[in-house]
Structure 1
Amino acid sequence: MENQLNELRALTAHAQNLRTETGIPRVAMVQGAIPEHRLAAVYDPMVNLILRGSKSMTVGGRTLHYDPATYFVMSVGLPAAGLVLPSDRGEPYLAVSLTLDAGIIANLLGDLPDTADRREHQEHAFSVAAVTAELLDAWVRMLRLMNHASDIAALAPAYEREILYRVLQGPMGWMLRDIASPDSALARVNQAIQQIRRNYALPMRVEDLADGAAMSISAFHRHFKSVTALSPVQYQKQIRLLNARTLLIASGYSVTAAAHEVGYQSSTQFSREYAREFGLPPGRDAIRIAGAMR
């Protein structure tokens, strides 16, 4: 597999330390040191493959570590904090990702035998698994398309299906199956997640979310926390704080304005929860980050 990794590294050598588009739909890459505040974000559903260095992802107090021997799957949008490290030889972190499209997964499932892993209890919608030569091979053919742009429209969909197929065959295949199956608990929790993300600044009634998911309140709480490692209230709070941080840093909002924009009625409560989440009060955190970016 080292030859495949080396080719992937060569193909992505021009990646930057921000999300770098490849020209292939839903496929992106990143290289080098990434500022801590950019790694604390709401991540879209994805398959993430590290080519060099290592990364940790923390969601709701659960931290996973992965490197070129593994790949990471997140099947729903989650607020998370990340940390990237160079390789043992000091070479910069390098990774590629494929954003998941539930429609494409559902279409692929229609062509596969029903061999889903039937689980009696919900598990987290994010995990790490050992990479395989077959998965790397599909990634190699996908990323070679960056040098043959005229082939992307015809071939990228086939290679995307193969990457997804290899993930479906692996230990986290159930995540992809469930997210593309409308009646699964994971898919119904995902609908609630999307609603919270759209309306994060508005008051939230867990009863309404549970009703929309066709679950009792207790069952909804249990499934939501199992999937996200967060309660619905904690999830909304993290979305609010992450968006407020962006407003403070990128848009120059005052602390009070940012608090109100993301749905806080009390700037004092906002500052207290912000400091608990990020380690500093909002004003001081924004100054620290601005200084680090100079």
Structure 2
Amino acid sequence: MKHNGELTEVIGNHIRTDGTQETDIPGLRFIRTSENSEPVYSVYEPSLCIVTQGSKVVMLGKETFQYDPTSYLTASVHLPITGQVVEASPQIPYLSLQLQLDMNQVLEILQSSPQIGKPKGESGRGLVISRMSESLLDAVLRLVRLLDTPQDIPVLSPGLQREIIYRVLQDEQNDPLKKFALIGSQAQRIAKVIDQINRNFDQPLRVEELAQQVRMSSSSFYSYFKEVTGMSPIQYQKQLRLQEARRLLFTEELNAAEASFQVGYESPSHFSREYTRKFGLPPGQDLRRLRGTL
């Protein structure tokens, strides 16, 4: 890819130390790390993720996705994932960017671009790896270059972000992104439920009630939800709860019982068992290991 080297250089000039850096372009952030990482637990929002140097593995449920400079990742809904950088060094650090996707803008572009093919099927996985194209890479490079002329960002950034979404939608691999944007589609109804669970993950979850909200039978809702997220609604909620509890333990200095109640668990012992199953250590030991690592 002829534009990848230049994109890597521009990103490297703007993020010189390991970590995540927000940019002056709304919704655009850079990530850098100079060594292979431990698993990192987070929630992907609708976004486009591009690696320009190195390689990363993302685990969603029991599925594994790997991408590098020859490919890119698209997330169409909020998804609790485990990410791990698997190719990085001080000499050749891992460099990537993440651009948030506005689903209303995705829908508007779909409706105004008849040349974009209609999606096939009802739903699909909410996370997709696609092959990188020169046209997409060129549009992303022109967007990132705006950071060198910040006065141009308000005028030129919206149009370039629109072009990037258009290039992504041209790829048939991204049919799921189209489905999640289309009003009234099965995928969009599932996306609304996913958003609701994200906002209320500490509340009891009743699959029958969620199915009724989207006018599906419980079995159909369960099947569609698992097709999109790679996990059941209960498993999805559990991932959100455990990730938030871990964040609370580390940043708010709560004890395990306090964190468990705050994310919706009624039993601290049940929370501790599920936490250990997820992160490999009980809460207290995991917290000590995290602090020692940092």
TM-score where L is the length of structure 1: 0.95
Contact 2:116/2:169 (8 A) holds in 1: no
Partner of 1:5: 4
What one-letter code is carried by the residue in structure 2 that aligns with 1:154? V
Cα distance in structure 1, aligned partners of 2:173 and 2:18: 28
Q: Which moved more, 1:86-95 or 1:150-159?
A: 86-95
1:65 matched to 2:66? The reply is yes
Kindly report which structure 2 residues correspond to 1:7-156, keeping only aligned pairs within 5 A, or say none.
7-13=6-12, 14-15=14-15, 16-32=17-33, 33=35, 36=38, 39-87=40-88, 90-113=91-114, 115-120=116-121, 122-156=123-157
Contact 2:119/2:176 (8 A) holds in 1: no
Return the offset for 1:19: 2.2
Partner of 2:202: 201
Kindly report which structure 2 residues correspond to 1:277-292, keeping only aligned pairs within 5 A, or say none.
277-292=278-293
Contact 1:60/1:229 (8 A) holds in 2: yes
Cα distance in structure 1, aligned partners of 2:89 and 2:27: 30
Cα 1:248/1:180, change in 2 over 3 Å: same
- Percent identical across equivalent pairs? 38
Kindly report which structure 2 residues correspond to 1:137-286, keeping only aligned pairs within 5 A, or say none.
137-286=138-287
Structure 1 regions of 5+ residues with no counterpart?
Answer: none
Contact 2:260/2:268 (8 A) holds in 1: yes
Q: Which moved more, 1:127-136 or 1:170-179?
A: 170-179
Q: In structure 2, the residue corresponding to 1:218 is in which secondary structure?
A: helix
**C-alpha offsets along residues 158-216 of structure 1, whole Å, 9 cap, x if unaligned?**
11011111110113331221121121111111100111111111111111111111211
Cα 1:7/1:245, change in 2 over 3 Å: same
Contact 2:123/2:176 (8 A) holds in 1: no
Cα 1:89/1:150, change in 2 over 3 Å: closer
**C-alpha offsets along residues 227-280 of structure 1, whole Å, 9 cap, x if unaligned?**
000100000000000000001111111010001110101000000000111111
Q: In structure 1, the residue corresponding to 2:112 is in which secondary structure?
A: coil
**C-alpha offsets along residues 73-114 of structure 1, whole Å, 9 cap, x if unaligned?**
110000000101335895110001111111111121221006
Return the offset for 1:121: 5.1
Structure 2 regions of 5+ residues with no counterpart?
Answer: none
Contact 1:249/1:286 (8 A) holds in 2: yes
Contact 1:52/1:93 (8 A) holds in 2: yes
TM-score where L is the length of structure 2: 0.95
Cα distance in structure 2, aligned partners of 1:256 and 1:81: 24
CA RMSD between the two structures: 1.6
Q: In structure 2, the residue corresponding to 1:73 is in which secondary structure?
A: strand
Cα 1:213/1:17, change in 2 over 3 Å: farther
Cα distance in structure 1, aligned partners of 2:190 and 2:9: 39
Contact 1:46/1:97 (8 A) holds in 2: yes
Q: How many residues are aligned here?
A: 291
